[in-house]
Amino acid sequence: MAKHLFIPCLIAILFLGSCDRDILFADNHSMTDNKWPLDVMPSFTVTSNDTTSLYDISFYIRTGSEYPFRNIWLFVTATSPSGRMITDTLEYMLSDIKGKRFGDGFGNIKDLSLAYRKGVYFPETGKYTFTINHGMRAEVLQGVYDFGIRIRKSELSEK
> Is 131 domain-assigned?
yes
* Range of the structural domain that residue 69 is part of: 24-158
Strand order in the sheet with 43-48: 43-48, 126-134, 71-79, 85-93
| DSSP string computed for 43-74 | EEEEEE--SSS-EEEEEEEEE-TT---SEEEE
Residues 56-83: pLDDT tens digits? 999 999 999 999 999 999 999 999 999 9
CA distance 113 to 151: 12
- Per the structure, the count of domains in the chain is 1
Give residue 106's pLDDT.
83
SS3 116: strand
**Within a domain: residue 5?**
no
Question: Looking at the domain assignment, is residue 148 inside a domain?
Answer: yes
| In a domain? residue 12 | no
CATH assignment of the domain containing 67: 2.60.120
4-17: per-residue pLDDT in tens? Answer: 444 443 344 444 44
**Does a structural domain hold residue 61?**
yes
Residue 19 lies in a domain: no
What integer pLDDT is reported at residue 21 of this predicted model?
67
List all residues 6 or more positions away from 41 whose beta carbon is below 8 Å from its beta carbon.
131, 132, 133
| SS3 labels along 16-42 | HHHHHHCEEEEEEEECHHHEEECCCCC
Within a domain: residue 152?
yes
